[in-house]
Amino acid sequence: MDTIFAEFESYLFQEKKMAKNSLQAYRRDIRGFAGFLGDKQIEKLTDVNNATIISYILYLKKEGRTTATINRKMASVRAFFNFLIKRGDITDNPVTKVKTPKVEKKAPQYLTLDEVECLLGQPDDSLKGKRDKAILELMYATGMRVSEIVQMDITDINLKMGFVACGSEDTKGRVIPMGSICKKAMQEYISNCRKGFIKDSGEEALFVNYSGARLTRQGLWKIIKYYADKAGIDKKITPQILRHSFAVHMLQNGADLKSLQELLGHEDAAATQVYLMVNKNRVKDVYDRTHPRA
């Protein structure tokens, strides 16, 4: 089986052009499934049937895996068996007729406009403060992922035209406009602050730490958490909080779902539709507060 698994991984990388992070996740999922088959003493993939898949799902539940994790693993296994069908090794996919657990969708956690204003107003006028101000403004103005922010190079931002080029081998590339307030903060950081951090004139990273190296995801997360605590925001703060806030506020101010999907870089519209839950909850709150017979 090891040879077939290796060929599947090569197929995902070379033909499907799968991003590195996604490829690693598929590799873990398939290797985990292979381990399960080994424990069940199933030596031939042709012996895997619907009952085997159901047994694997029950095993994952017993292991305490979340519904989302189980569904992701089953998506990987489904793709693997589709690959075997394409090769002509099997004729049916044993996963397709098995119902996977339903994921309960939850409205994303986000900040109110007042909380965003308070958060973005926390950095001071020091070099670090101006750098952090630029980071927070850019995150809220563009809705970019934390990973995308830290991967940005100085050449990815066009202050004259007021946009950023976003994306890498792991994310969908796109061009995102930024507002005047964000542009002002970025201009201040790039013109007057960034050179105070960099040690090597050849450094390409847009945001750097005290060592002059590219800021890490962990470093950026600490920055968000620090200013959220300083602002006294009594909510569960996640690295995605400003991305979620960007999306919710855009919808609340009339943005259409398709445009928001493009701005966020979602390949699947369902990933964007989760933000509609917030608006539905907001409408219900307004109704409950204002209707005389609510």
- 107 DSSP assignment: P
The terminus-to-terminus CA distance of the chain in angstroms comes to: 62
Q: What is the reported pLDDT for 152? A: 94
CB-side neighbour CA atoms (13 Å) of 59: 15
pLDDT level of residue 76 (50, 70, 90 thresholds): very high
Other CB atoms within 10 Å distance of the CB of residue 246: 25
pLDDT level of residue 270 (50, 70, 90 thresholds): confident
**Left (φ > 0), alpha (ψ -120 to 50) or beta: where does 91 sit?**
alpha
178-194 confidence digits (pLDDT tens): 999 999 999 999 999 99
Topology classification of domain 2-87? DNA polymerase; domain 1 (1.10.150)
Which residues are the active-site residues? 243, 287
133-170 confidence digits (pLDDT tens): 999 999 999 999 999 999 999 999 999 999 999 875 55
202-242 confidence digits (pLDDT tens): 999 999 999 999 999 999 999 999 999 999 999 989 989 99
Instruction: Report the C-alpha gap between 176 and 155 in whole angstroms.
Output: 14
Q: Is 113-287 in CATH node 1.10.3720.10?
A: no
Look at residue 175 and give its three-state secondary structure. Answer: strand
pLDDT level of residue 282 (50, 70, 90 thresholds): low
pLDDT level of residue 100 (50, 70, 90 thresholds): confident
pLDDT level of residue 124 (50, 70, 90 thresholds): very high
Over its C-alpha atoms, the chain yields an Rg (Å, rounded) of 23
Q: What is the reported pLDDT for 40? A: 93
Domain locations along the chain: 2-87, 113-287
Instruction: Report the C-alpha gap between 250 and 247 in whole angstroms.
Output: 5
Instruction: Report the C-alpha gap between 272 and 258 in whole angstroms.
Output: 9
CB 148 within 8 A of CB 21: no
